[in-house]
Amino acid sequence: MNLLVEGNTAHFHERVNLKFNEAKFYENYNEIDKNKYEIIATPMDMLFELSGSVVPKDYWISSEKYSEIAKAFTIIINDKPASTAFTSARHDNKLEIGIETAEEFQGKGLAYHVCAKLIEYCIDNNLEPVWSCRFGNTPSLNLSKKLGFVEALIMPYYHIPMIKQN
C-alpha cells in the first residue's frame, strides 16, 4: 500500500496546550446531580467501541495495556454511553484527557461532569491532568477553562492529507 499526498497541499493549524490550575478547578466546581445522571468507570469493551475523532482504540495497543496505566469514566443515559472522558495519553505522572460525547447528548453539560470526575481521579492519584486541542476547537477550549485549565502554549503545525493507494 502506498500513501500519496492529496492535492499537494498542507493545512496550517495551531494547537493549544493548557496547564491545570487546581484552585481554578475547585473555584468553578459544579457537582453533578446524582439523581439525574450516573457516572461509571468505563468498562474496556465499551471504551474500545467508542467512536469519534480521538478515541482510545486509535491510540492504545490494547485494552490490557490501557487498563494498566489509564482510566476512563462515562455518563450513562437510558442505558447508553452519553459522554466519556478518558486517558488519551499518559507519560510518567501526566495524564492527557480525551473526551467524546455522543451527538444526541451534546450541549447538555455532560462533558464537564465526566471530565471533572477524571480530574478528581488525577488529583487523588497524584497525576497531573493535561489538556490540548486545536486552537479552532472552541467547545474544547471553553470546556477546558471551565475545568480550571489555562492556556500555556500555542504551537503551529501542518496536517498533510494522505490518500491510500493499493
The 10s digit of each residue's pLDDT in 19-42 is 999 999 999 887 767 677 889 999
* pLDDT value at residue 43: 92
pLDDT at 163: 61
Q: Say whether pLDDT at 3 is over 80.
A: no
Q: How many CB atoms lie within 10 A of CB 127?
A: 19
pLDDT at 162: 63
Please state the separation of Cα 35 from the chain's center in Å: 25
Confidence at residue 17, expressed as pLDDT on a 0 to 100 scale: 92
Range of the domain at 17: 2-165
pLDDT > 70: what percent of the chain?
A: 90
Q: Are 163 and 44 in contact (CB under 8 A)?
A: no
How many separate domains does the chain show? 1
Q: What CATH number is given to the structural domain containing 105?
A: 3.40.630.30
